[in-house]
């Protein structure tokens, strides 16, 4: 099974997509990575979904990546005696640690860490920013505020604090339990919520102990400010535009998205663009034109993946949502303007031998009759560097390590193929030719590029580029033992 696009699709599983038939239909429609949202569902339910994914992997013979998305700390107000109250602009309103039921004048905010960080002039956003409170005075257990944007406040609505770095760990006790569960389950990627600083990522990495790659969700202004440091210690990035659009002016999110995607491309680390991409397809079989344009923009920017959330997890049209994303991606990538945009935004880095090898592979592929680049890898680095080049020809990622192949399912353009363990470069060339023919990338009369590192099974040794025929008789005739 071959995808006829380079960008990958991440589909969230949930109540609307928990049975074998639906998950397989999502995969066949184009999903490359399945997201398990740890904010919803029990461990038993998540394990059942994971087991189905692995069954489908066996049935189709194709590697599939699983991403477990950790919930992160959830900041919420308490409950009201009357259920809800209307706050008007100019009203005074207090939040405090008192667990008494709320009123039109106050409510509990059971997070002493927030009060420890607040200063006069700070903003509190309630219910996805629909209500805005300006802090006038505050102490260790209260904040007296003025309502600057009114609305209805009700039980357990979420609170965002955009102006300060909160002294909260990105991992709650629930997250720690979920992280261990997900690692034991065998997921390839862990998405870390509420990241504010590089130290948050390092803590998760230490807990994961190499069992899963760490993908940092950029959803807070503090993470945007510290992005360079966060990127260095992360294996991948998710641009989580939902909370970004709450805590920052909504008009600032598109340029931030563009900057983050470009930085990830330069660092050769996968980046997902997420949140509300086809939101209307939760209830409708057709997206809006604005949503299609939004998905297309992320693809034009060179994002590795675009993600569906509630559309595939709880919507009425999960398979159709994936099909729509697939269609948009194929349409965009066939547009001549797409290549112009991708190539004009390419960040050229030639600091190592590996950089030079993959750069040369792209240039040779674009100036000769080569039809694919076959990249052999142990850790995934060779494929990631090849993908950073955004070549015009397909990338066939070849590896004997199942976990590495699954992780690479998130990488732009990578068609992942498992190979036996290899000892000699000639074996690599023969396996590459077979894979290129088997999956329809080449026929026996065409040439491919083979990129590898010798000796095999050693990370960081990318040092060979070979233009090879796909006819094995020619390989044996021209290659010495």
Query: What's the CA dihedral at 262, 350, 334, 11 to 10 degrees?
Result: -50
Predicted local distance difference test score (pLDDT) of residue 471? 84
Q: What is the pLDDT of residue 301?
A: 96
Tally the residues of the chain. Answer: 481
CATH number at residue 189: 3.20.20.60
Supply the DSSP symbol for 380: S
Asked if residue 136 belongs to a domain, the reply is: yes
Assess whether 217 carries a catalytic annotation. yes
* Last residue in a domain, options 160, 193, 210: 160
Report the pLDDT value the prediction gives residue 64, as an integer from 0 to 100. 98
Same domain, 180 and 291: yes
* Domain assignment of residue 373, given as a range: 353-478
Same structural domain for residues 125 and 228?
no
Structure confidence at residue 443 (pLDDT): 94
Question: 207, exposed or middle or buried, with CB in 10 Å at 0-12, 13-18, 19+?
Answer: middle
Provide the b/e sequence for 220-247 (b: ≥16 CB within 10 Å). Answer: bbbbbebbeebbebbbbbbbbbebbbbb
User: What's the pLDDT at 479?
Assistant: 61
CATH number, domain with residue 140 = 2.40.33.10
185 domain residue, yes or no:
yes
Sheet holding 370-376, edge to edge: 414-418, 395-399, 370-376, 447-453, 462-469
Same domain, residue pair 326 and 182: yes
194 and 311 assigned to the same domain: yes
| 197 shares its domain with 287 | yes
For residue 341, tell me if it sits in a domain.
no
Rounded CA separation 167/118 (Å): 11
383-419 tens-digit pLDDT: 999 999 999 999 999 999 999 999 999 999 999 999 9
Q: Name the β-bridge partners of 69.
A: 37, 191
One domain for residues 147 and 184: no
CA Rg value for the chain = 24
At which of 307, 334, 361 does a domain end? 334
Is 49 part of a structural domain of the chain? yes
Q: Are 109 and 218 in a shared domain? A: no
Asked if residue 51 belongs to a domain, the reply is yes
39 lies in the same domain as 89: no
Report H helices in 186-315: 198-208, 221-225, 227-233, 241-247, 253-267, 289-300, 310-313
Q: Is 390 a catalytic residue?
A: no
Which residues of the chain are under the pLDDT cut of 50?
481
How many structural domains does the chain have?
Answer: 3
Question: Is 96 found in the same domain as 44?
Answer: no
Q: Is the same domain home to 156 and 174?
A: no
Q: What is the CATH number of the domain that holds 391?
A: 3.40.1380.20
- Is 76 annotated in the active site? yes
Q: Which of 5, 12, 157, 275 is catalytic?
A: 275
Q: What gap in Å lies between CA 356 and CA 206, rounded to an integer?
A: 32
User: Which pair of tokens denotes residue 201?
Assistant: 């990522």
Structural domain includes residue 286 = yes
For the full predicted model, state whether its pTM sits above 0.75.
yes
Clarify whether residues 60 and 182 are in a common domain: yes
Domain end call among 160, 187, 211: 160
Q: What is the distance in angstroms between the CA of the first residue and the CA of the last residue of the chain?
A: 33
Report how far residue 275's alpha carbon sits from residue 188's, in angstroms, rounded to the nearest whole number.
21
Strand partners, 108: 96
Long-range contacts, stretch 257-264, CB < 8 angstroms, 24+ apart: 257/298, 257/301, 258/301, 260/218, 260/224, 260/227, 261/298, 261/301, 261/302, 261/303, 262/301, 262/302, 262/345, 262/347, 263/227, 263/228, 263/231, 264/231, 264/236, 264/237, 264/304
The predicted-structure confidence for 3-58, as pLDDT tens digits, reads as follows 999 999 999 999 999 999 999 999 999 999 999 999 999 999 999 999 999 999 99
Among 5, 217, 258, 265, the active-site one is: 217
Q: What span, in angstroms and rounded, lies between the C-alpha atoms of 63 and 69?
A: 20
Q: In Å, how far from its chain's centre is CA 122?
A: 31
What distance in Å separates the CA atoms of residue 440 and residue 359, rounded to the nearest whole number?
A: 24
In a domain, 78, yes or no: no
Give the pLDDT score at 474: 77
34 with 135, same domain? no
Helix (H, G, I), strand (E, B) or coil at 415: strand
- Please give the Cα distance from 381 to 167 (Å, whole number): 35
How far is Cα 201 from Cα 222, in angstroms, rounded to an integer? 14
Give 220's Cβ-side CA count (13 Å radius): 27
- Considering the candidates 76, 130, 134, 426, report the single residue annotated as catalytic: 76
Active-site option among 6, 35, 94, 157? 35
């Amino acid at each position: 099974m071959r995808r006829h696009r380079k960008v990958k699709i991440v589909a969230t599983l949930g109540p609307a997509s928990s049975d074998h038939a639906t998950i397989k239909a999502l995969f066949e429609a184009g999903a490359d990575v399945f997201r398990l949202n740890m904010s919803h569902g029990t461990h038993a339910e998540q394990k059942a979904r994971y087991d189905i994914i692995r069954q489908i992997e066996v049935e189709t013979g194709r590697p599939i990546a699983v991403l477990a998305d950790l919930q992160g700390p959830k900041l919420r107000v308490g409950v009201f005696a009357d259920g809800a109250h209307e706050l008007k602009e100019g009203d005074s309103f207090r939040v405090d640690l008192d667990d008494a039921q709320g009123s039109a004048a106050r409510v509990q905010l059971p997070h002493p860490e927030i009060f420890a960080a607040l200063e006069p002039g700070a903003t509190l956003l309630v219910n996805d920013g629909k209500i805005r409170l300006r802090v006038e005075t505050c102490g260790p257990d209260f904040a007296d505020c003025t309502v600057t944007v009114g609305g209805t406040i009700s039980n357990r609505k979420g609170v965002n604090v955009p102006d300060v770095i909160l002294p909260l760990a990105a991992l709650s006790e629930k997250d720690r339990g979920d992280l261990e569960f997900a690692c034991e389950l065998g997921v390839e990627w862990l998405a870390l919520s509420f990241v504010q600083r590089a130290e948050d990522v390092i803590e998760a990495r230490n807990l994961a102990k190499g069992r899963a790659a760490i993908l940092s969700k950029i959803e807070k202004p503090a993470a945007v400010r510290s992005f360079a440091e966060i990127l260095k210690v992360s294996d991948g990035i998710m641009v989580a535009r939902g909370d970004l659009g709450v805590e920052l002016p909504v008009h600032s999110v598109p340029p931030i998205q563009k900057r983050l995607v470009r930085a990830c491309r330069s660092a050769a680390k996968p980046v997902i663009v997420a949140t509300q991409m086809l939101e209307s397809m939760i209830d409708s079989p057709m997206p809006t034109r604005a949503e299609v344009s939004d998905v297309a923009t992320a693809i034009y920017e060179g994002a590795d993946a675009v993600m569906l959330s509630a559309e595939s997890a709880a919507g009425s049209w999960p398979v159709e949502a994936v099909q729509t994303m697939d269609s948009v991606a194929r349409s965009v990538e066939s547009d001549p303007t797409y290549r112009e945009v991708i190539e004009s935004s390419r960040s050229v880095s030639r600091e190592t031998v590996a950089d030079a090898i993959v750069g040369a592979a792209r240039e040779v592929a674009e100036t000769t009759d080569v039809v694919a680049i076959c990249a052999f890898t142990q850790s995934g680095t060779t494929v990631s560097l090849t993908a950073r080049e955004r070549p015009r020809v397909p990338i066939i990622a070849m590896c004997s390590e199942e976990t590495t192949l699954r992780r690479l399912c998130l990488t732009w353009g990578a068609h992942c193929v498992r190979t036996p363990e290899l000892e000699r470069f000639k074996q690599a060339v023969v396996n590459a030719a077979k894979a290129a023919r088997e999956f329809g990338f080449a026929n026996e009369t065409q040439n491919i590029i083979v990129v590898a590192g010798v000796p095999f099974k050693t990370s960081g040794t990318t040092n060979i580029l070979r233009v090879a025929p796909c006819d094995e008789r020619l390989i044996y005739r021209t290659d010495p033992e």
